[in-house]
Amino acid sequence: MTDATELRLRTEEFLAAHPPASTDRGDFLKARFDAGLAWVHYPEGLGGLGAPRSLQAVVDAELEAAGAPDNDPRRIGIGLGMAAPTVLGFGTEEQKRRFLRPLWTGEEVWCQLFSEPGAGSDLAALGTRAVRDEASGDWIVNGQKVWTSSAHSARWAILIARTDPEQPKHRGITYFVCDMTDPGVDVRPLRQITGEAEFNEVFLTDVRIPDAHRLGAVGEGWKVAQTTLMNERVSIGGMRIPREGGMIGPVAKAWRERPELRTHDLHQRLMKLWVDAEVARLTGERLRQQLVAGQPGPEGSGMKLGFARLNQEISGLEVELLGEEGLLYDDWTMRRPELVDFTGREAGYRYLRSKGNSIEGGTSEVLLNIVAERVLGLPSEPRTDKDVAWKDLAR
Task: Kindly report the pTM of this predicted structure.
Answer: 0.86
Most distant pair of Cα atoms in the chain: their distance? 74
The pLDDT assigned to 294 comes to 56
Does residue 201 lie within any of the structural domains?
Answer: yes
Give yes or no for residue 63 having a pLDDT over 90. yes
Give yes or no for residue 292 having a pLDDT over 60. no
Does residue 276 lie within any of the structural domains?
Answer: yes
Of 65, 89, 114, the residue that ends a domain is: 65
Domain of 196, CATH number, reads 2.40.110.10
pLDDT in tens, 319-351: 999 998 888 877 666 677 766 666 668 899 899
Q: Mutual orientation of helices 93-105 and 25-34 as an angle, nearest 10°?
A: 140
Task: Give mean pLDDT, residues 65-70.
Answer: 97
Give yes or no for residue 286 having a pLDDT over 80. no
> What is the distance between the alpha carbons of residues 367 and 353, in angstroms, rounded to a whole number?
20
Domain of 255, CATH number, reads 1.20.140.10
Domain that holds residue 333: 226-375
Q: Indicate whether 177 and 239 sit together in one domain.
A: no
Give yes or no for residue 215 having a pLDDT over 90. yes
C-beta atoms surrounding 75 within 10 Å: 15
Q: Indicate whether 213 and 233 sit together in one domain.
A: no
Report the range of poorest mean pLDDT among 1-15, 60-74, 358-372. 358-372
Q: Give me the amino acid identity at 215.
A: L
Q: Indicate whether 120 and 188 sit together in one domain.
A: yes
> What is the distance between the alpha carbons of residues 158 and 175, in angstroms, rounded to a whole number?
7
Q: Indicate whether 194 and 288 sit together in one domain.
A: no
Task: Give mean pLDDT, residues 205-215.
Answer: 98
Does residue 274 lie within any of the structural domains?
Answer: yes
Q: Strand (E) positions, the chain?
A: 110-113, 129-132, 139-145, 156-162, 173-179, 185-190, 199-209, 214-215
Q: Indicate whether 128 and 57 sit together in one domain.
A: no
Does residue 388 lie within any of the structural domains?
Answer: no
Of 65, 99, 116, the residue that ends a domain is: 65
Q: How many domains does the chain have?
A: 3
The pLDDT assigned to 54 comes to 83
Does residue 297 lie within any of the structural domains?
Answer: yes
Residue among 347, 357, 146 at smallest CA distance from 236: 357
Q: Indicate whether 124 and 160 sit together in one domain.
A: yes
Q: Indicate whether 214 and 253 sit together in one domain.
A: no
Task: Give mean pLDDT, residues 147-170.
Answer: 96
Contacts of 73 (CB under 8 A, 6+ apart): 80
Of 201, 219, 237, the residue that ends a domain is: 219
The pLDDT assigned to 383 comes to 81
Q: Indicate whether 60 and 96 sit together in one domain.
A: no
Q: Indicate whether 240 and 343 sit together in one domain.
A: yes
Q: Indicate whether 211 and 233 sit together in one domain.
A: no
Does residue 393 lie within any of the structural domains?
Answer: no
Q: Indicate whether 244 and 202 sit together in one domain.
A: no
Does residue 28 lie within any of the structural domains?
Answer: yes
pLDDT in tens, 14-55: 999 999 999 999 999 999 999 999 999 999 999 999 998 889
Contacts of 335 (CB under 8 A, 6+ apart): 195, 196, 197
Does residue 48 lie within any of the structural domains?
Answer: yes
By annotation, the residues acting in catalysis are 232
Q: Indicate whether 139 and 246 sit together in one domain.
A: no
- 383-390's contacts with Cβ under 8 Å and 24+ in sequence apart are 385/168, 385/169, 386/168, 386/170, 387/168, 388/168, 388/169, 389/165, 389/166, 389/167, 389/168, 390/125, 390/162, 390/165, 390/166, 390/167, 390/168, 390/169, 390/172
